[in-house]
Chain A
Amino acid sequence: MTDINALIERWQSGDQRAAETLYNSHREQTFRLAYGILGNPADAEEAAQDALTYALTNIRRYDPQRASFSTWLHTIAVSRCRDRLRRRRLPQFSLTSWLRGGGDAPDPTPSQEQQVVSAETHSEILTAVQALSPALREAILLRYWAGHTYREMAEILNCPLPTAQSRVRLAYQHLRAALSSGSLADLEDLDFEEKRL
């Protein structure tokens, strides 16, 4: 595991290779968070790329005493995703129907995106998460997927600590209702070994 703080210091003093390593080590994670919130690879790419660029060009603003680099980066990424959701003008593209291979997604380059997620990917959980309101979606992703503490979440979401907690509880409640009513995949079917945050 590379020492993130050492990389940050090197980039702060001008080492471009450190910036590249920092970028590459956070590229997938940032894209996945944006994808989870926005539900669409094109938007996720733009939001994630914006967030990483901002973080790298504003590296002097980052204070390791205040927050971990991930928390800081996720704060920026969530804010970029919110900007995109606010300004989204194109017709809403349904992840659900696209994942199930149906519908005509208004997508200019479907073949390229097919490479991003294979068409047979059946993601019952991600589909249910997409059906939540954006605030609950952010909360469940930050807590369950990224493993943030509630205090970090309050920082990232720019909300009081109890609000972060109640959003996670509410998201769980919705997901529980949605997933219980559908066909229940047995827990044993899930690949427990793959869990890594």
Chain B
Amino acid sequence: MMSYHLSDDQLIGYIHQTLTDAEREEIDRHVAGCAQCRGMLSDYEAMQRRISYGLSNDLKKVHPPATMSFAAVAPRLRRFWGVTALMLAVDRPLTAVVTLAMVALMVIGIFAILTRSAPNAGSVGMMFRANPQHTGIYYTDSLPQRGEVAWSFMTKGSIPTSPVLADGMVYFGSNDRTLYALDSQTGQTRWSFALPEVGTSPAVVDGTLYIGSGSSLVALDSRTGQKKWKSAAVDCCYMDTSPVVVDGEIYAKSRGYLRALDIQTGQEKWKFKLNTWTASSPAVADGTVYFGDATLVAVDSQTGSLKWKFSDGGKIAASPSIAGGVVYVGSYDGIFYAVDSQTGQLKWKFKAGAGGFISSPAVADGMVYFGNGRTLYALDSQTGQVLWTSDTGSLVESSPAVAGDEVYVGSFDGYLYALDRFTGQQKWRFKTGGGIDSSPAVGDGLVYFGSMDQRFYAVR
């Protein structure tokens, strides 16, 4: 006689192979001795087969119309391929210059055609930690593999801030009180803009760059650096945290308030009073703004009303990341928390033990990465179990960036580290002349970051 029966969740998890080995074995043992659950399980499996075969049969009866043919796309392919074929045909040096000039013109023309017809080109916003949820995931076709400098750029101040990549440009602030916009491939200056302070990362969305400086937030044309608007001055200061832009609104923290501003005008929509001041930047997911204050706080993004406050943990200086309905953040009490994004209930916690958290987590494919003390940690995002750790020579206050199968992070020992994100094995490291506080950004085969040696680096 069995004392319990399998739940719907257990049965569904079992047939979809999403359980742990231990959970699976428990079910196997139970089913062996319980005829009722054996029946349920085979019933669930039958439904699974029915959906699978039914879908296959139904879609087999669906055929593309005759208008969908190779002939219809061939002209576009030929136009595209003509150019590439010409490039391959260049074998004589005398004609090469002329040919390459022609190729360049054609490439520009075709690029214009392709980008015009690509609906989402340029519409993706870029900001601190890569996206409004601050997951720190960068999508790129190739990864920096050699750990050698592609270009570097000297400023007149240390660079503790984190770069943002958008539309072929890289943007970052230096302690020389300048915001720089460089060509991301060559490092050439496109424009620069003097500000009272540059302590954070800008957000770039649809051709506009937003950055907090002093007591105001400014909006610049991201291509030219022309000022679009400047918000009304507030208490102090917008410069300590990075703004996040979602659905026509900017969320930014000053010392006293979290504010929502209109993206077009900089007009304030609502404000939410803070209990303390910390450098935690707000993150946004599913209509909620999450940020660190005296504790972790969730506020409705439309109205600015409080959704919940996390009851555990200390002051929070790191920025939260949200993925799969869970908010991840490290606290000043040295503990890393995973909290349900809807309810604010603790899911799991992990004591890192080497002081308060500054580094913000990256979350990808069921793994969460963060720095604490001298160590980079990789945890299972579901359970909080340590998957691997990797030590550096000094403090890791930089927030890790994930791209492909790698994770990148800076350390105060002056190195930028590239690790295999599944094993923690070092792929390469790159030495700068100062500590790296800056969180790296990754794109087009390069990793970008600033160093305390006053130089900005693009490493391939």
Contacts and interface: CB of A to CB of B under 8 A. Distances in A.
A66 B61 CA distance: 32
B355 interface: no
Given A123-B61, A169-B13, A144 B50 contact: no
A136 interface: no
Contact of A160 (B49, B54, B57, B364): B364
B68 A126 contact: no
Interface in B46-72: 46-65, 67-70, 72
A92 to B, nearest CB: 19
B378 interface: no
Contacts of B69: 27
Contacts of A173: 8, 12
A173 B49 CA distance: 14
Given A83-B119, A126-B55, A169 B18 contact: yes
B88 interface: yes
A35 B56 contact: no
Given A49-B68, A49-B72, A115-B65, A194 B60 contact: yes
A116 B59 CA distance: 11
Interface stretch (B79-87, B156-164, B187-195, B413-421): B79-87
Contact of A28 (B49, B63, B324): B63
A160 B52 contact: no
Contact of A125 (B18, B50, B63, B382): B50
A142 to B, nearest CB: 11
A180 B40 CA distance: 14
Nearest to A41: B65
A61 interface: yes
Interface in A26-58: 27-28, 31-32, 35-36, 41, 44-45, 48-49, 52-54, 56-57
Interface of A: 13-14, 16, 19-20, 23-24, 27-28, 31-32, 35-36, 41, 44-45, 48-49, 52-54, 56-57, 61, 63, 66, 79, 83, 87, 112-113, 115-118, 121, 123-126, 129, 140-141, 144-145, 150-151, 154, 159-163, 165-166, 168-169, 172-173, 175-176, 179-180, 185, 187, 190-192, 194-197
12 contacts: A14-B88, A36-B59, A41-B62, A53-B76, A57-B76, A57-B77, A115-B65, A125-B51, A126-B58, A154-B365, A160-B381, A162-B366
Interface of B: 8-9, 12-13, 15-16, 18, 44, 46-65, 67-70, 72-74, 76-78, 80-81, 84-85, 88, 114, 118-120, 141-142, 323-324, 363-366, 381-382, 404
Query: Which 3 A-B pairs give the minimum distances between C-beta atoms?
Result: A125-B54, A123-B58, A31-B64
